[in-house]
Each structure stands twice: as C-alpha cells, then as structure tokens.
Structure 1
Amino acid sequence: MNRFQMIALDVDGTLINDHHEMTAKTRESILEVAKQGAEIVLCTGRNPSSTIPLLEELGLVGTVITHNGAVTMESDTRKIIHQYVIADSELAPFKAYCREHNYHFDLNTANELYVEREDILTEEVLAMYGKFYIVPSVLPVDGSLTDQMVKLTAFGTKEQMDELEAEWSTWTHELTIIRSGDYFIDIMHSKASKGNALKHCAASREIESSSILAIGNYYNDITMLQFAGVGVAMDNSPVEVKAAADDITLSNNEDGVHMALVKYCL
C-alpha cells in the first residue's frame, strides 16, 4: 500500500519538459500511482484552462490548484472550491508602476486573463500566451471586473523581472509577491500560496500532511514542498528551492517526476 494518499505536482519545469511535453514514462508512472489510490493534484501558477487539459491528458478528474494557490477548482465541473480575491485598490500602485516603466502585465480572474489595451497584444506576447493555451481578453473600460481579480502577473526578460522584483521588495504592502518563473512575477492575496491551498485541499479529504508527496522546481513551490510530508525538488530548481526540499530528483528533461514516483510510491 502506497503511504502517500495525495501527490501534489507542479507543472512547468516539473511535470512537463522544456518542450512543454509530458513524457510517456512520466504519464505511465502517474497513472500507476493513481491506480493505487493516490489523488493527483496539479498545483501550478497557470490558470485552470491551461491546467485542466493536462489532467484530462492523463485521463484523470479531480482538483487543480491554480494561480499559485489563489484558485482551487474541480476539473470536471469547473466549480470554484476556493479563491482569494484581491481588491483593485491594492493592485493600483503596482499597475501604475508597470505602466510608468513599461513592464508588460496582465490581470487574472479565476478563469480569464485580461490586458488593459489591445495594442499590447503583439505577436511576441500572443505567442507567449499561446504556449499556455491562453487567449487574452481586453479589460472592459468600465472596470466591471476589478472585484474578481485573483492575480496580477508581470512578464518580461529575466533581467527585467530581476529589476522589478528588487524594486517591489522595498515596498510596504499586504500582498504576496512571488517569482513563479524566470520571466514572471505574480502578485496575489497575502494568504494565497500553493502550500495554503494544498493544506485546505488535504483537510477537506481528512488527509494528513505526512501522507502527501509534493514535487516542484521553483520559488512558488517552496510552501508546498514544506507542507508535504515529503517535498521533492527537481534538479533544475534554484538552490534555495533544493534547500527547502527533503530530496532532489532528476531534472524535468530527465523524467524527474517519474524517478521520484518510482522511489517513493512504486
């Protein structure tokens, strides 16, 4: 009997390789673990529409933790189980800074991604969103969506995001700012994190943290790796993420998830 009742998997840089593919080997090992009775929970910075297809690709239904823990949703019904909404007034200074310094940003509700103006959607920007199966919408002029926002994401080169992260780290505010990739910075509700969302999900199933295996590769995965009974970092993780984990597996281009599942579950 597998000691782990829940397997929490990050997506980009973990479940899928750098070609945005889930390998057959990884898929087979996940399905074998699921067959043994463990619940597979995808935990990602992506939105539901770019997460649920991966669960469907596995032939599974269940719960997905998206927007870095800001939205938890059922994959089959698309019912929102829980979400952390942020007030537009809290985001206002961050939006103003991005506009003033020409940083690209988008605003996210549970299911939709918005930009402020259509001319922002250059070919390069649309290609970036396309990798994640996202078609951006333009925010209504009347601001009718501002009370449903769960995340602001800034996007740019690694150097631009390094500069932006350094600047925002000096600000006083009540929000969570997390680096979710080399090219992305996310701003969310202060309580929104993968670890908190996983904790809620486990509690609803009456599953102890000791019965959870979590696998991830980036700073936004640290809370999840620390909450789980065993947290495994990918070999392609930054050193701080590896330090927060209990173990390190191979990289996302070497079937690291498969290797971790073989070691701990199969």
Structure 2
Amino acid sequence: MSYKLLALDLDDTLLNEEFVISPGNKEAILEAARRGAAVTLATGRMFRSSLPYAEELGLDVPLITYHGAMVKKARSQEEIFHRPVPLDLAVELTNYLEAGGYHLNLYINDNLYVREDNELIQLYINIASVEFTAVGNLSNFIKDEPTKMTVIIKEENKLKDLGRLFNQKYGSILSVVRSRPYFLEITHAAATKGQALKYLAESMGIK
C-alpha cells in the first residue's frame, strides 16, 4: 500500500525517551518521502518546539501543532489554520486558576507566557526545549486569544479533579485532556488533530 500523507506524533511515538528521533525512525520516514508520501507532524507541542524536528527531517509541508489548533508551514512559517481558545473563556479560566494558585502556561502567537519561573515551568522546558517569558499576573496580562492553555500539577488526584471539573463545565466548548503525568491541556473543542489533518489533506488535494 502506498501512502499519500503520513502524519506522525512526536512524544511517545516518533521520539525516544531522550526526545530524539532514532536513526531507524528517521530512515523509515525518509524512505516514505522518497516513495512519494507527504510527511508531516501532528503533535500537541508548540510550532516552535516542533520545528527543529521538521527541519531535521527536511519536511516542507504544513505542521499540525497544539493538538490541531494551529497548522503552519514548516519553511515559510505561514499560518494557514488557527483555532484558539475564545478570549472570554480564556480570561475566565485564567482568573480561576490564578485564584486557586495553579501553575498555568499561556500560548499566544506561538510564544509561551507564565506567571513566574518555578520548578513546574522548568519541568515543561526540559521536555519542550523552548524559551518562556514570565509576566507576573496572567489575569492582567491576557489580552489575546491563546492557542492553548496548559495547567501543570504534580499531584495526580488534584490534576484528575480539575480535569473532571473543567470537562463538566466546559466540555461542549473546550477540549480538556491530560498529557503526560502532570499536564492538563486546554484547547478549542473544534481544534483536533483529526480535523486539522482533514483540512490539510483537502488543501493538498489528497482524498
């Protein structure tokens, strides 16, 4: 069977425990490309966190990032699809989380903003290898729609309880999913990898 479009996740799929593409995986991807398949990434990571892997593989197609909330061309970095969290909901969530003392990552215009530098953001940075900006009170800072919001909690029960609460209250309008042991990731409900992949395939004339 020949594939026209191959979409690969990064974490727990393409990358090993050191967050590196193994030589075997790299060769398999390059062989698929040589056989005519368009290869892209479909990941929950930021675009800027995904781009080095795309460059390593020589990809020249749009990348599906932020769980499908943003699709952006690898080389020109032209944004072709973006479905962020509505600002009113983002402000409401930010106010709630800051009042509760939770650590929150805000992703706006492919930049990462946090309240302060602490062990939780360092835990994230060790995985994502991106820079961040500490801006103080996020409730005062947020003025634009975030592509994604990530709550980082090391206590598993607390993370589960918060995820359950948010799904009950916002489940019809937001996607609230757990990734890795400590991350609760929030995106627009209509921003999914599947929908982004469908959009990308149609834009490339692939059926």
CA distance in 1, matches of 2:145, 2:167: 25
Q: One-letter code of the match for 1:167?
A: L
**1:143 positional shift:** 5.5
Matched, 1:147 2:144: yes
Change (3 A) 1:9 1:110: farther
CA distance in 2, matches of 1:123, 1:105: 12
> What are the residue-to-residue correspondences of 1:80-159 with 2, within 5 Å?
80-115=79-114, 117=115, 120-123=116-119, 125-139=121-135, 146-157=143-154, 159=156
**1:35 positional shift:** 0.8
Higher relative contact order (CA 8 A, sep 6+): 1
CA distance in 2, matches of 1:89, 1:133: 30
**1:157 positional shift:** 2.1
CA distance in 1, matches of 2:151, 2:182: 8
Q: One-letter code of the match for 2:164?
A: A
Q: Percent identity at matched positions?
A: 29
Change (3 A) 1:196 1:110: farther
**1:139 positional shift:** 4.0
Paired residue secondary structure (2:6): strand
Please list every run of at least 4 consecutive aligned residues from structure 1 whose deviation after the TM superposition is greater than 6 angstroms: none
**Residue deviations 1:202-238 (CA, integer Å, cap 9, x gap):** 0111212xxxxxxxxxxxxxxxxxxxxxxxxxxxxxx
How many residue pairs match? The answer is 204
> What are the residue-to-residue correspondences of 1:193-212 with 2, within 5 Å?
193-208=192-207
Q: Is the 8 A contact 2:90 2:145 kept in 1?
A: no
Q: Is the 8 A contact 2:70 2:82 kept in 1?
A: yes
CA RMSD of aligned residues (A): 2.1
CA distance in 1, matches of 2:165, 2:88: 20
CA distance in 1, matches of 2:194, 2:155: 25
CA distance in 2, matches of 1:140, 1:61: 37
CA distance in 2, matches of 1:127, 1:157: 10
CA distance in 1, matches of 2:57, 2:32: 12
Q: Is the 8 A contact 1:70 1:193 kept in 2?
A: yes
CA distance in 2, matches of 1:186, 1:110: 17
**1:156 positional shift:** 1.9
Q: Is the 8 A contact 1:161 1:183 kept in 2?
A: yes
Unaligned runs of 5+ in 1: 209-266
**Residue deviations 1:123-168 (CA, integer Å, cap 9, x gap):** 5522531431211113487967622421111112260322221222
Q: Is the 8 A contact 2:33 2:39 kept in 1?
A: yes
> What are the residue-to-residue correspondences of 1:145-184 with 2, within 5 Å?
146-157=143-154, 159=156, 160-172=158-170, 174-184=173-183
Q: Is the 8 A contact 1:43 1:69 kept in 2?
A: yes
Higher mean C-alpha deviation, range 186-195 or range 63-72: 186-195
Change (3 A) 1:81 1:144: farther
CA distance in 1, matches of 2:59, 2:174: 34
Change (3 A) 1:43 1:110: farther
Paired residue secondary structure (1:170): helix
Q: Is the 8 A contact 1:177 1:188 kept in 2?
A: yes
Change (3 A) 1:138 1:124: closer
CA distance in 2, matches of 1:177, 1:150: 13
